[in-house]
């Protein structure tokens, strides 16, 4: 590493960039979570105003409310994962900086443990980022499934006429 002046820079910059990416994912996931909660509230209000829960519209709303609950739980788990990733990337950047300082002042007994801790923190962060992204993928599939079911219901209601399909 001593022969490559960019090694220390990359050890610090890579976690910093990934920290920024985690922050962006946190913001977008928080927005999705807020929209999911709003949708669940709206469905709950509609269901509370319904006297007959056996009618097709109420059954559809119940299914959508179940899906909204599943989505919000996935989003919450994803958000937690992204927070772990953010903290781990920030920690990896800090440990890398400490490692660079201790290496420059010739403290080899401290450098190796810091390298190991930095790599471990980076691995935890990447794993958390991947896991959170997989949860977002599952949440998106549920959202698309709800939209597909809704579209099928609308097509069915209008008799799947040729005029409706051309719109």
* Token output for 140: 């998106």
Q: pLDDT tens digit string along 97-136?
A: 888 888 878 887 888 898 899 889 989 999 999 999 999 9
Long-range interactions of 31-34: CB distance < 8 A, separation 24+: 32/75, 32/136, 32/139, 33/72, 33/75, 33/76, 33/79
- Rounded to whole angstroms, the Cα distance separating 123 from 39 reads 36
Q: Residue 4's pLDDT is what?
A: 62
- Domain limits of the chain? 5-165
Q: Is the pTM of this model over 0.75?
A: yes
């Amino acid at each position: 590493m001593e022969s490559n002046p960019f090694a220390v820079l990359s050890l610090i910059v890579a976690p910093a960039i990934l920290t920024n990416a985690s922050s962006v994912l946190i913001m977008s996931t928080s927005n999705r979570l807020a929209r999911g909660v709003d949708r669940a509230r709206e469905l709950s209000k509609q269901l509370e105003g319904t006297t007959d829960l056996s009618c097709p519209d109420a059954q559809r709303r119940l299914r959508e409310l179940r899906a909204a609950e599943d989505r919000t739980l996935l989003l919450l788990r994803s958000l937690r994962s992204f927070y772990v990733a953010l903290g781990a990337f920030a920690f990896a950047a800090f440990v890398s900086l400490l490692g660079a300082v201790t290496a420059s002042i010739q403290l080899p007994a401290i450098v190796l443990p810091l390298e190991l801790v930095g790599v471990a923190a980076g691995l935890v962060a990447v794993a958390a980022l991947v896991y959170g992204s997989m949860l977002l993928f599952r949440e998106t599939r549920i959202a698309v499934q709800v939209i597909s079911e809704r579209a099928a219901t609308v097509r069915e209601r209008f008799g799947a006429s040729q005029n409706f399909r051309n719109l």
